[in-house]
Structure 1
Amino acid sequence: MSTEPASTEPASTEPAGAPHSDLVIGDDGLARPVWASTDELLRDYYDTEWGMPVRDERGVFERLSLEAFQSGLSWRTILAKRPAFRAAFADFDPDTVAGFGEDDVARLMADAGIVRNRAKILATITNANATVALRQDGGLSDFVWSFRPATTPEPETYAQVPTTSDESVALSKALRKRGFAFVGPTTMHALMEALGIVDTHLLGSHRRGTSGVWN
Structure 2
Amino acid sequence: MTLDYRWLHDTVRDRFDSDDAMEAFLPRPLTPDELKQQGDDRYLSAMSQRVFRAGMKHSVVDAKWPAFEEAFWGFDPEKLVLLSPEQIDGYMNNDRIIRHRTKLQTIPRNAQFILDIRQEQGTSFGEFIANWPSADIIGLWNLLSKRGARLGGRSAAGFLRLVGKDTFLLTSDVVARLMAAGVIDQTPASQRDRQRVQDAFNALQRVSARPLCQLSAMISLSINPRGGLKFQTQRY
> Does TM-score exceed 0.5, indicating one fold?
yes
Q: Does structure 1 residue 66 correspond to structure 2 residue 34?
A: no
Write the deviation string for residues 158-185 of structure 1: whole angstroms up to 9, x where unpaired. xxxxxxxx624x22321344x4211114
Read off the aligned partner of 2:128 and give its amino acid letter.
Answer: F
TM-score normalised by L of structure 1: 0.59
Q: Does structure 1 residue 102 correspond to structure 2 residue 85?
A: yes
Q: Does structure 1 residue 167 correspond to structure 2 residue 167?
A: no
Write the deviation string for residues 82-127 of structure 1: whole angstroms up to 9, x where unpaired. 1111011111010111111122101211112212111111111111
Q: Distance in 2 between matches of 1:107 and 1:32?
A: 43
Q: Distance in 2 between matches of 1:95 and 1:86?
A: 15
Which protein has the bigger helix share? 2
- The answer to whether the 8 Å contact 1:147/1:167 transfers is yes
- Tell me what 2:193 maps to: none
Instruction: Return 5+ residue gaps in structure 1 as ranges.
Output: 1-16, 22-30, 34-45, 151-165, 209-215
SS of equivalent to 1:114: coil
SS of equivalent to 1:182: coil
- Tell me what 2:115 maps to: 132
- Tell me what 1:90 maps to: 73
SS of equivalent to 2:162: helix
Give, in angstroms, the shift of residue 197 of structure 1: 1.7
SS of equivalent to 1:125: helix
- The answer to whether the 8 Å contact 2:141/2:157 transfers is no
Q: Distance in 2 between matches of 1:63 and 1:99?
A: 19
- Tell me what 2:176 maps to: none
Q: Does structure 1 residue 112 correspond to structure 2 residue 69?
A: no
Q: Distance in 2 between matches of 1:69 and 1:18?
A: 35
Q: Identity of aligned pairs, percent?
A: 21
Aligned length: 151
Q: Does structure 1 residue 123 correspond to structure 2 residue 106?
A: yes
Q: Does structure 1 residue 19 correspond to structure 2 residue 14?
A: yes
- Tell me what 1:192 maps to: 160
Q: Does structure 1 residue 147 correspond to structure 2 residue 115?
A: no
Read off the aligned partner of 2:14 and give its amino acid letter.
Answer: P
- The answer to whether the 8 Å contact 2:45/2:75 transfers is yes
Instruction: Return 5+ residue gaps in structure 2 as ranges.
Output: 1-11, 17-23, 167-210, 232-236
Q: Distance in 1 between matches of 2:151 and 2:140?
A: 8
- The answer to whether the 8 Å contact 2:40/2:125 transfers is yes
Read off the aligned partner of 1:167 and give its amino acid letter.
Answer: I
Read off the aligned partner of 1:19 and give its amino acid letter.
Answer: D
Read off the aligned partner of 1:120 and give its amino acid letter.
Answer: K
- Between 83-92 and 54-63, report the one with greater CA deviation: 54-63
- The answer to whether the 8 Å contact 1:68/1:182 transfers is yes
